[in-house]
Each structure stands twice: as C-alpha cells, then as structure tokens.
Amino acid sequence: MGRIKLQSGIKVIEEEPEECGTSESYRATIVCMINAEAGTVLAVMRRNVRWGVHYMSGDDQLEDSLIQSLKTLRKQIFSWQNPWHTINPALYLQPFLDVIRSDETGAPITGVALLSVYKILTLDVIDENTVNVEDAMHSVVDAVTGCRFEVTDPASEEVVLMRILQVLLACMKSKASVMLSNQHVCIVVNTCFRIVHQAGSKSELLQRISRHTMHELIRFIFSHLPDVENTNQALVDGVATVKQESGGLDNDYALGSTQMENGNCNSELGGQASSVRFGSDASTGLAAIEENAIGAGSGKDALPFDLHLMTLPYGVPCMVEIFNFLCSLLNVVEHIQKGPRSNTIAFYEDVPLFALGLINSAIELGGPSIRCQPRLLSLIQDELFSNLMQFDLSTSPLILSMVCSIALNLYHHLRTELKLQLEAFFSVVILRLAQSRYGASYQQQEVAMEALVDFCRQKTFMVEMYANLDCDMTCNNVFEDLINLLSKSAIPMDCPLSSMHVLALDGLIAVIQGMVGRIGNGSVGSVPAPVNIDEYTSFWTAKCDSYSDPNHWVPFIRRRKHIKRRLMVGADHFNRDPKKGLEFLQGIHLLPDKLNPQSVACFLRYTSGLDKNLIGDFLGSHDEFSIQVLHEFAWTFDFEDMSLDNALRLLLETFRLPGESQKIQRVLEAFSERYYEQSPQVLANKDAALLLSYSLILLNTDRHNAQVKKKMTEEDFIRNNRRINGGNDLPREFLSELYHSICKNEIRTTPEQGFGIPEMTPSRWIDLMHKSKRTAPFILSDSRADLDHDMFAIMSGPTIDAISVVFDHAELEDIYQTCIDGYLAVAKISACHHLVDVLDAVVVSLCKFATLLNPSSVEESVLAFGDDAKAMMATVTVFTIANRYGDYIRTGWRNILDCVLRLYKLGLLPARVASDAAEESELSADPVHGKTISNSLPSVHMQSMETPRRYTGLMGRFSQFLALDIEEPRSQPTEQLAAHQRTLQTIQECHVGSIFTESKFLQAESLWELAQALILAAGHPQKGNSLPEDEDTAVICLELLITITLNNRDRILLLWQGVYEHIANIVQSTVMPCSLVEKAVFGLLRICQRLLPYKENLADELLRSLQLVLKLDARVADAYCEQITQEVGRLVKANAAHIRSLMGWRTITSLLSITARHPDAAEAGFDALFFIMCDGSHLLPANYVLCVDAARQFAESRVGQAERSVCAVDLMGDSVSCLARWSQDAKETMGEEESAKLSGDIGEMWLRLVQGLRKVCLDQREEVRNRSLLSLQKCLTGVDGIKLPHDLWLQCFDLVIFTMLDDLHEIAQGHQYNYRNMEGTLVIAVKLLSKVFLQLLPEIAQLTTFCKLWVGVLSRMEKYLKIKVKGKKNEILQETVPELLKNTLLVMKSWGVLVQRSASGGDSLWELTWVHVNSIAPSLQAEVFPDQGQEQSLHKLDETGYVPSNEPVHAECAAGTGG
C-alpha cells in the first residue's frame, strides 16, 4: 500500500514499508510500474506504421533497436533481485531516454516516453545513495535537453514541450538532484528558457506553464544558496557570462533559438513532417565560455569558471552563471517579434519583465546568503543595478513595479553592501519617474510613488537614508529629496484630490509614525547638543571609530551633516565671489587658515551646488596655486578600467571646460596624466593620452556642432591620430570604438547646473562602482531615536503643509482620519523633541478647520458644525493636542483661544466654563487655620457675573435643547437633533475647561504664552469708551485669565505683572458700569483672597493692586461699592494674619474708609473694620493709626444709625489697651534701644488716637459726641501701662484737650441748632479737663511749663462758667465748674503745688491762681485756705521754704498769663 504525498512540490506516490509489510512488496510495485510504462511506450509506437512492420533478412526477424531495448527491459526487470538502490538506474531509464533522443519518433511517442521518465523520477526511487546515480541523472538531463522528435501537429508539439518542462523540473526537485553538476543545471535552465522563448508563438497554456516552470527552477536552485559552501576561493576572477549569439531579438537572441522553429512552417511549404532537434551542445548553454555580446558595456573581460568546478555537484558557480544570464536579459528592451499565430499574454512577453521576475525570485530565496558569495554580490552591485538604472521614462508600469520590488528586497537583505547603488536608484529612477516634470506618465508616477511609500513603511529606511547619504558630504540628500517629493506630490496643484496625493501623504505619515514608534528609545526628549567647529580638520577623509556603536557614529554623522550644511552656505558665497567664498569657508574653519590645494580641490570636487563655470575658470587659471588645485582635483577621480571617452565625460561633468585654449590645455594635461597613471594598457605615455583627448574634444565638436557642415569620418579620425602613441599607431579597433562612442553619445562640455536629477551614464556608473569601494560602511539603524530630532526638523514643515492641504481638499472620512492621525503624530514628536515652533504650526494648521462661523445665523452655524465631520474632528484634535502637549505650545495658544472664542460665540461652550474652572480650583484650596477659604461671590451680584445676557440666553436655549425636553423632539427635525447631539458629543470630547484648570501642570514658558494670548485676545479698551468693541470676548478672556492665575498660585510671579496690567487697563479706562470692569475688579479681589495665604513675599504687591479699586470712576465705584466691600471683608477675615505691611493695611483701610459714607456699603465696611479692631488681635503697630482713622470716619459718618458711630467710637477707645499691651511686651521682650523706639511709636499712635477722638467729640449727634468724650477721657486717663513723655502730654493738652474745649465752647456760643443738649457735653468736657489734669498733676507739676498749663486750665474753666447756651447760662455748669475748681485747688494744696509765696512779686503761681479763681468763685480761697489770710499764708510758706523751682515758675507764669 502507499499514499499520495507532496514531495518537493510535486505529488508522488511513495511506498511506505511500514504499511506494505516488506521491501519486496515495495520493489514489486516499482517493477510493475516500470514494466507498465515500457508497455505503454511500446503500445504507442506500434500505432505508427513505421514501428508496426517486421523486416525479414534471411531466416531472422529483425526489430528496431528502440523496440528491442524496451522489450529487453520488460524481459529482464522481473529477474532483478538485488536491493533497488544497488541497481544501475541506466538499466531501466536508458530505453526511455533512447526514445526521447531519437529523431525518428513522433511527438506522441516522445511525449509518452517523457511522461514515463517523469513518473520514475517522481517515485523517488533514485536518490543520492543509488549506484551510479550521477551518470544516470546526467543522462536524463542530456537526453531531455537534446530531445528530438517529428512534429506532426502543433498540439502534440506543445504536449512534448510541456513534458520536457515537467521532467526537467522533476530532475531538479528529486532527491538525486544534488548529484547534478553546475554545467547540467545551467543546461536545464537554458533549455527551459528556450522553451519559454518558443512558447511565445504557442498557446497561452504553454506560455504560462513554461514561465511557471522557469520560476520554479530559479526558486528551487536559489533556495539552496544558504546551504551551499562558499566556493568563491576556487573561482577564477571575473564574471562568466552567458553565450548570446546576437544582440537583437530578431536575430535569435535567446540561445540557439534558430533550432526552435517547429515544422509548421515547413509543412506549409512542402506538406511534409520535419524532424526537429530541441537542444544544443553543452557549449551553447549557460556555461558557454564566450563574451556576452549585450552586456559588454562594462569593458571587463569575461573569464570562465574553472572547468573542474563546472563538473562538480551544483552550487555557487551555476547560480552565478544563471544570475549573470538573467541580468543580461535586462538589456533586451524590445518585445519579442511574434508571428501571425502568436497568442501571447499581455505584458508577460516582455523579456526584461520576465527576467526581473526571475531575479526577484532568486533574491527572495537567496536573501542575506548572497552577502556571503562575493561573485553573486558583485553581480548585484554592478550588472544588476547598472541594468536597473536603464529603465527610463519609456518603461512600462509593470516593469517599473518589478524593478521597485527587486530594490525593496535588496534593501531588506543586502543594503549594507549597496549604499551607493541605492542612492543612485532613488536619485535616478524613483525621483525621476515620480515627477511629471521629467515626462513620466501618470501610471509611472503612481508605480514609483507606491514603491517609495513601501520603502517609507520600513521603519528604519528613512533613518538609514539620512544617516548614510544625507550625512555623507559626497552623497546626495536622498532623505530630503524624498521628503520634498512626497510633500509636493501630496499637494494638489489646480486639480482635485486624487489617489496619488493621498498615497504621497501616506508615505509622509508612515515616516512620521516610524518616529512615533521610536519615542522612548535613544535620546528622545533631549535636544541634541549643537555642533561647533573651532578649528579646521581634514574632514573629507575622516572616519568614525565605530560604525556599529551609536555612541560613536551618531555624533560623527551629526558633525558631518553640520559641515555639509555649512558647505552649502559656502557654495552660495563662492558662486557670488570665489575669493570671498573661500575666505568665508576659512572663517568657519572648513578650509585651513593657510589654503592648501588638496582641501580646495575636495571642496570643488564634492560640494554640490557650485557654479560649474566658476569651477572651470578657477581650475584653468595660470597662477601656481590654481595649477596645484587642478592637479589635486584630477587626482580625486578614479579612471581605472574606464575608457578614455568615458573618463573624459566623467571629468567634464564636474565643471565647464573653459573657452581659452591655454586653460583647456592645462585641464587636459592634468587629466591625461591621471588617466595614464591608472589605465596605461593601450597608451604608451601621458602625451599620447593628451593628444588623444584633444582629438576627442575636436571630434565631439565636429560631430555635434550644427554649424559644421562637413563631418569627420571614421577614416579621418584614425588618420588624424597616426603615430601619436610614442611614435606608433594606436590599434584601429581602439580608435574605431572611440569614434563611434563619441558619435553616438556627445561629450557635454557645458554640464547641467543646479540640483537636477542627472541620467546614469556609463561613466557615472563606473565612477559609482569605484566610489563604492572607498565609501564609508553602511550604518544600520536600530529602534533608537538619536537622529529623529534632526530629521523631524527637516520634514516637519513640508509634512504639515501637505497634511493641511489634503485635509482641506478631502471629502471622505477615511482621508480625514488619515490626516488627523498625521497631525497627532507630528504633535507628539514635536512635544517629545521640544520643537515648539513645529507644534505651533500644527495648531495653526488645525485651527483653520476647527469651527464654523456664519455671522448671518448662529443657529445655522451650530447645525452646520454638527454636520461637518471635518470641523468636528479638527476641533477635537486641536483641543486634544492642547491638553496633551500644552507644555510645548507657544504662539499657538492664540489660535487655540481664537477657536475657543469662536465656539463661545456659536454657543457651543458651557456658559460657565471659566467660572466652573475657577470654582473647581477653589474647592481644592488648602485649608487655612482649619477652615476652607470660600471665595465664591455673594449671591447679591452672582447673576451679574454670568456670561453676558445676550449669549446666556442663546446658550440657555441650547442647553435646554440638549436636555431634550419632552415636547421638543416633536417639533425639531430628526437631522437637526442628530446634528446637535453630535455637536454636544464633540464639545464634551474636547475638554476645553481642562486647558485652564490643568494649567498648573504647564511649563512656565507655555503658561506665560497662554496668559499673554488671553490678554491679547481680550483686546485693549480705550479710555472713555463705555464698552469695548467686543465686550463678551473680553469678559470670557478675563475669566479664563483669572482662572489660570488662581490655578498657578505657586507661579504667580510669572503671571502677575501681565494680569495686573491688564486689569489696571480695564479699570482705568472704564467710565461706566459694565460686565467687564465688574469681572476685572472682583477677579482681582478673588486673586488676592486666594493668594495672600500662600505668597507672603507677594502680599504687598497683591494688596497694592487693590488700589486700582480706589481709582475706579465714581459711577463705576458707586455701582459695585457694596459687593466690593463684601469681598474686601472676606479678604480681611480670611487673611488678616497675612497682612503685615503698612502699605497693605493702608490699602485695606482706604477701601473700608470710603465705604463709611456709602449707604449700601457702610455696613459691610464697618463689619470688616470691627473684625480687625474688636478684640485687638488683628491690630498691629503697622495698621493701628490707619484703623483708628478708619474708625473715626465711620464714627463721623451720618450714614445709617448712630449706633454704628457709637460702636466705632468704642473701637477707638478700646484700642488703647493694645497700646498698653505692646508697651508692656516691648519692656519684657525687647532690648533697651528697640524698646525705646517702639515706645516713641506708641506715643505717636496714642496721640493720633486722642486727636481722632477729639474730632469726633465735635459730632452733632449727642450720643456720639458724648461717647467720644468718654472714650477720650478713657484714653487720656487709662494709660497707666504706657510711658508717655512729658512733652507729649503737653502737646496733648495743646492739640487735643484745650482745642476740643475751645471748639465745643465755640459751638455752644455759636447758637448751632443742629447740636442738641450741648450743656451735657460741656459738663462732660470740663470734667474731662479736671480729671486729666489732676491725674497728671504729680508728673507735670515739676515742669517749667506747668504755670502756663495751669493758667490754660483755669482760663477754660472760667470760659465754661461764663458760657451762655442759647442766650442763658447753664445752671449745671454754674455748679459744676466751681466744684471742679475747688477740688482741683484742694488736690494741688495737698500735693504742695499751690503754696503762698513769701517774696514780693505779682506774677507768681499763687497770685496768678487767685486772680483767675477770684473771677470764677471769689469765695473759693477762703474755702480752700479758711484759717489764713493771704499775707499769713505767704509768711508761713516762707518759713517752711517749700516753693520748688520758684523763680522759674514765676517766669513761666508771667509768660503764660494770657493763656
């Protein structure tokens, strides 16, 4: 038994001994099968009359040898008893092979024999262990490739060709194929290719099968490349080439195709069947040792492999031959000529396309193993790529697509060996074919763009292009060129958006996404250190220490890229003035301070963008330095293995040959010397090279100048160059080749200027191959992001422009999403690399699409927004970027705020987005003293601080509509409901408020820019305007500004100046109440409330800002006075402990004082003042006088009930206890000097206190007036704990007591009817005088000014005694004054102050006293001194001698009698 099993891609029947029981059964099966096949062949042969006739010769019956061998096989096969692998395969294969070889058999017989061989091979009865297997396999290949048969009809012929393909493929896939030699594998491939060629005129089935078989062969052969040993050491140098009988398709280019013409043509001529031999000798196969006629452009001699290697089991030699043959097929650029009966498959008959497919398969299967095979690698580097370069604008899109596929595979597997080849491919093929300006068709552009996008999707491609090419000073900026190509191709120019534009954008975004994938690796987040060049070094030949270690090669190539950029700048200077250009390069250390020829020559040779006319003039100059530079310049070229005309072309592509003959001679002399040094094969000396170069220049001018009528012939050219080679003639063939090369391809002595895309000429290719040997190793990039910052800085601008334009033109949501993904990716990279300008550009670009604004109808705009997917996606994206990457947004905040304001005007923002944000920040405020600070505005004016009324209504309606009231869905169309719902969802996804509430996480610079953007968006109100141009915008911006200020208390110093100036501008320019100034004032108060507890160093600045409130226009201040006072009260109550400076308290008390006379605000103002002064805990030396003055103003205010004034007076009176406490504390805790200073300050405060009370004592209201007098008395008499100096007391009597008494006396005398019950006030006042005087008597009696003071007291008592209130004397005063005076005299008597004087004189204290007393109450003297008369009293006083400081007292009394 057996089972069908897939063996090497072919279905075979394999006998399994485990199931069959014994090997004998397995062998019997094989024998029966072979016997059956032999019988089948015999049966088919007998159907032909030729094989069915018996020939008689005498007594013997003779049969044909073919039939005889088959019969012999059938006769002997059952007698074989040895193990099968010991049986020579030739015994059972040879009869079938003889039939295949015979040219007498017809197609049906040959086909059956081939099928039999195929069956035997697929049984896998032959393997590498079979005896004589090598000869057997070779016999099979030789027989099948040399197959001969008579063609009777086209169908049978095709069957035979298919059978040949089957057998050859089975040979290669059998287990014994390893025994095939390199030569036989080449023969197999050669035969299959000839069948492919012949199938062009056959049926479509044969075409497909032949091509498929060829592909399978190539795939099978090259799939073994990773397993074969490297036989390169045994190979002969050079590349063996495929025999190709002619260079044209019409001339049987495909390896012996002359013999492939079938007999159909002959049958048409003679009606007879012809005999066809399909095959050739081994010498005509792939292993032919002959020069390839088509691929000879390289100029290399094609050398064979060693014959011994070609007979060894197949490996690298045959693969090299096959690959070389496939490369040679790429030179065929015309289609196969087809006969009248051709039935070719469209496009697939193109030989280069077919060859490209085979090459691609070989590369796919060979993969990285090709790198280990130098011969194969050399073919790819040179022959393959040089042929790929030839596919120009005439190439079909199919061929171009396959070329790009091969390039992509080569990039994956062999890019480290193909650095310059890949550069050439992108520069010459992709960049040229992807742009219409070079004449490429739309299909070619599309294929090239698809290929480029495929490369872009490789994560490391662009990084490696940048590192290896853009950062190499001798290479093109491929990365920049490709990015510019993609960006330009993505932008529609005067045409609708097409798939090409979207494809190019996909490429750009693929590169960006690759960078996103590398975020987190390498140096992301750190800006690369700038490159500085401090001195000149020979950088043209500098090499990196390690091209595999990023720590070495990253700084190395960044330095080289910097030099390359600077060289471009130097080239621009050079093009304007060569001398100044070189000086500039010296200044930036790219040329040595003392110029040397080598450095200048390298600059002229390798720097792109130089004016080639100027280079030619410089090199042709006669000065010694220029000649040296010319010599070094010529030595930068490698002319090895290059023909003279190609070398000359290469030289003249780098500059324009000067017009002067002397300059031309100097240039050609340097060229000839260099060329002869490297290629002396034919030329005898450098003079011969020089003369021949001149001759080529003349020939070039003669052949390609239209003004030359008589052209030089070949004979003329040869004759002109006689005996120039050291006195001998040059070979005629050599000169003839040069002549035809010049005639066919002009040497351009005026090369192209600028940065265009040059064609790949043979000379350029040879130069590229030479450069590839010297170029730096290919740098492999990993997942690190070391270069992404530099790359992104280059591509970000074009990428953003492309995304913006495509997004603008797009109409499909898929494209919208692609653009949005691109925007987000660019934003993410910008933030990671701290490229703030790029992120701002993203924001600016997105904001153009973010919202709609139709001034004619806001409601229509809201609906339009909900129906516009582009606007909604852009809006969500811009706010997503703002929330995620706000740290790196700068000027972009202005655009984001513009978007916010447009949404606001459309009613698409929550009505209290700013207020809610502020409240949220307030709720999270840190507790102070165990209590949470509440900064919410009072309900009295909360309504006025909502969004302006006209928009509040709109948003109110919008919010109600979104709430979907029960009846509204019935009245609104379904489309409008859906649009509004989408709008709501979009705005929710934006999280607009988070930008401001989370601003505390923004970096300082970004936060500052956000604040400045808000200030700028709010506008600048003009002085005198009742409202700004757009008050609503100004209001919302101010609210948001206050929000971010409150959320950034730790960085208030950063914001404060701008916020303060903005609010000040509003306050000082507003003359009428409005929402804006209201927000400004209360926002300022709220800021102070929130920040005072946390920013003590800024407390003065914050409190000083409140002086703006004092500068409000009177109308504005009056409108908001009550609310302002309430806010100030809250501020004081919450932050009194944090207000310590005089300036701060002056501001607070000023704000409170102005409310004393405001009907609505007085209560709140006094409440705040009461909080400060009530228990003295918040009274400080810094605020004492200010608070007393404020209390005085409330006491004097007639607003409200008198109780408030009385309470204010009490506050003033009670505050004296604070002075006593401070004085006591000073004595206990301070030093003597500090204590003395504070005591002086306390004295001043006390004086200000009593002066304030003195003023209130004149109040018209009786209760206030009287309470003030009592409080004044309290302050004057209750100062035991305060040490007041004597002069301060004297000052107090003069400024306070006497003045108050005089003023009250004047009021009482002036018949002021507004003052009620003045009598009682006068009594209190005179009592105050007496009490204070008596309390101070012990201290002031010793003063020299006591007499003056005493006279003042007596004079005031006298006035009050004689006063007439309302025209009559007051009885109470008439009783009180004498009594008080008597009491005073008694006290003075008891203290020994009032004594009788013994000396004579009329001005003594005693005499002055009694002069005044007698005028008041004459009887008082007798009552006070009842027992003595005046003289006696004086005498007694003299005896006691007690009149201290008598004389000075008298003097002062004399001076003070007028008191």
Q: List residues with catalytic annotation.
A: 660
Helix axis angle, 1114-1135 relative to 1142-1153, nearest 10°? 130
Which amino acid makes up residue 342? S
Q: For residue 675, which of 652, 658, 657 has the smallest C-alpha distance?
A: 652
How many other CB atoms are there within 10 angstroms of residue 342's CB atom?
13
Question: If phi over 0 gives left and psi between -120 and 50 gives alpha, with beta otherwise, what is residue 492?
Answer: beta
DSSP letter for each residue of 628-674: HHHHHHHTT---TT--HHHHHHHHHTSSPPPSSHHHHHHHHHHHHHH
List CB contacts of 99: < 8 A, sequence separation 6 or more: 41, 45, 66, 70, 105, 109, 110, 113
Q: For residue 1405, which of 1448, 1438, 1435, 1436 has the smallest C-alpha distance?
A: 1448
> What tokens appear for 450 in the block?
């698809």
* Whole-number Å distance between alpha carbons of 480 and 792: 11
Q: For residue 313, which of 168, 132, 138, 146 has the smallest C-alpha distance?
A: 138
How many other CB atoms are there within 10 angstroms of residue 365's CB atom?
18
* Whole-number Å distance between alpha carbons of 322 and 215: 12
Instruction: Please give the distance of CA 1272 from its chain centroid, rounded to a whole number.
Output: 75
* Whole-number Å distance between alpha carbons of 319 and 363: 11
> What tokens appear for 13 in the block?
């029947």
Instruction: Please give the distance of CA 442 from its chain centroid, rounded to a whole number.
Output: 33
3-class DSSP assignment, residue 725: strand
SS (H, E, C) 1438-1450: HHHCCCCCHHHHH
List CB contacts of 1138: < 8 A, sequence separation 6 or more: 1092, 1093, 1096, 1099
How many other CB atoms are there within 10 angstroms of residue 1360's CB atom?
24
3-class DSSP assignment, residue 276: strand
* Whole-number Å distance between alpha carbons of 1400 and 1372: 38
Q: For residue 896, which of 834, 843, 852 has the smallest C-alpha distance?
A: 843
> What tokens appear for 723 in the block?
């005996």
Cα-based torsion angle of the residue sequence 951, 953, 958, 964 in order, rounded to the nearest 10 degrees: 170
Q: Residue 729 in contact with residue 722, Cβ under 8 Å?
A: yes
Instruction: Please give the distance of CA 1174 from its chain centroid, rounded to a whole number.
Output: 61
Q: For residue 948, which of 915, 985, 990 has the smallest C-alpha distance?
A: 915
* Whole-number Å distance between alpha carbons of 201 and 345: 11
* Whole-number Å distance between alpha carbons of 467 and 475: 11
How many other CB atoms are there within 10 angstroms of residue 1379's CB atom?
14
Instruction: Please give the distance of CA 207 from its chain centroid, rounded to a whole number.
Output: 54
Euclidean distance between the first and final Cα of the chain, in Å? 153
Q: Which parts of 1092-1141 fold into alpha helices (H)?
A: 1099-1105, 1107-1110, 1114-1135
* Whole-number Å distance between alpha carbons of 810 and 806: 6
